Amino acid sequence: MREIVFDTETTGLSPADGHRLVEIGCVELFNRVETGRTFHAWFNPDRDMPTEAFEVHGLSAIFLSDKPRFHEMVSELIEFLGDAPLVAHNAGFDMAFLDWELKACARDPICRTRMIDTLALARAKHPGAKHSLDALCTRYGIDRSQRIKHGALIDAQLLAQLYVELTGGRQIGLMLAAEPIVAAGEPELVPANINSEIIVATMPRPPRPHGPSEAELERHAAFVATLTNPLWAGTAA
């Protein structure tokens, strides 16, 4: 199944207040695996960039001034999205801006049945925990060292990994401790490298003595003595 994970950057919190979409990044998944196909674009919002927004993503009005307007890229974006489900973190925020820009171009809005919200997935799976993208990447061991500021494409790439984890996929980054704590008598799990793939090998339990005790031998001899005409009677030793 084809899915698109995407993220946006904007000039503010709501298009109803005159804020605009300034960046979108999309990552294509097929059967929960990244295909390598992406879509990324910056847009000239034809307005100033508030300080609060600039501090989040670092996109200035000067930097965006020579970028295309949304309507100039909308056909390429729609073609890339196709009819695939759309995955976003706090999807209602991103979809509100995307729909506003589509409406401004006389394009149909995105059907909400296509929307998958990883924030809702995270809240259901980890109630009471922190659910920001940063916090969830830390929880699942997803490397975000290249993420200095918010950026639509890098955030979409991180979110693609997180989405796979939240939906029980490839268990990215699953590693065993170098010195696992094992309860007495329990099998020890150790990593083994075969054909460059990390697998888990189970160490056998230590051998246990299974010989009969002296008391058990005496009870057995007493029981045998009660048997009438046993099959082995008269058999040479």
Residues designated catalytic = 150
- 114 φ, ψ to 5°? -85, -10
Which residues, including other chains, have CB under 8 Å from residue 11's CB and lie 6 or more apart? 19, 20, 22, 45, 47, 48, 49, 50, 53
Whole-angstrom distance, CA of residue 221 vs CA of residue 97: 87
Residues 208-237 as b/e (b if ≥16 CB within 10 A, e otherwise) read eeeeeeeeeeeeeeeeeeeeeeeeeeeeee
User: What 3-state class would DSSP assign to 187?
Assistant: coil
Whole-angstrom distance, CA of residue 163 vs CA of residue 157: 10
Provide the 8-state DSSP code for 65: T
